[in-house]
Structure 1
């Protein structure tokens, strides 16, 4: 696994609160989209050899690759996308869920999505892709938890 900055906050709940605080600074959605793009640029490097069909997340219009590692006590996720905005969505999901226990992942609903108004401002295809990403993380945690 590549070096990961996640988790940034001690708990998933604190990560969601921090995301809400950050997005509250921006007055309109053009600024929020730009911030999302900037966050996507902060994703750790993702090895080209991992960009395979085996690691491709299905259900996304953009190309998204995700590689889980770890066990029930701590699951890490490395991911990348070919889309700037989707990379930002990936960053937010990893900020909330990567580096956490399977139990914490399963106990944490992605409230930040509605909390920052993201649900209302994503296209249907991006919403489906985000649901696929969150579903993959949840399914991985479910399998790890047994």
Structure 2
């Protein structure tokens, strides 16, 4: 799949994310270190089925976040702690298409995920 096809797929995925509550678009839920604004909600009250929600102002970033959410939403805390974001993007054929700043921002998302579960 070329980058244009990947881009379209990510835009479609971005539209499929469940709505992120506007009340949670605050500093407590913001992921710092990302070029685009990213918000993350984690409910780990059930460590065997953690609930994750993401949002971003960037459609591409939101599509990338949708891939993460599809993989990890409802998974146990240990699966999230051991999550390999680079492996996911390699598996999806995206690794070589991510700009350094986008890859760095997504690494910050993975770090925040692991800290907040």
Compute the TM-score of the two structures, normalised by the length of structure 1.
0.73
Q: 1:59 to 1:99 in 2, by over 3 A?
A: same
Gaps of 5+ in 2: none
Gaps of 5+ in 1: 1-26, 142-146
Match of 1:37 in 2: 11
For residues 123 and 48 of structure 1, the distance between their equivalents in structure 2, rounded to whole angstroms, comes to 28
Number of residue pairs matched? 115
For residues 128 and 109 of structure 1, the distance between their equivalents in structure 2, rounded to whole angstroms, comes to 14
Q: What secondary structure is seen at the aligned counterpart in 2 of 1:66? A: strand
Match of 1:121 in 2: 97
CA-based RMSD of the aligned residues comes to 1.4
1:43-94 CA-partner distances (Å, limit 9, x unpaired): 1011111111111100111011111112322211111000000000110011
For residues 52 and 103 of structure 1, the distance between their equivalents in structure 2, rounded to whole angstroms, comes to 27
Max Rg structure: 1
Compute the TM-score of the two structures, normalised by the length of structure 2.
0.89
Within the alignment, does 1:134 sit opposite 2:89 as a pair?
no
Match of 1:49 in 2: 23
Match of 2:62 in 1: 87
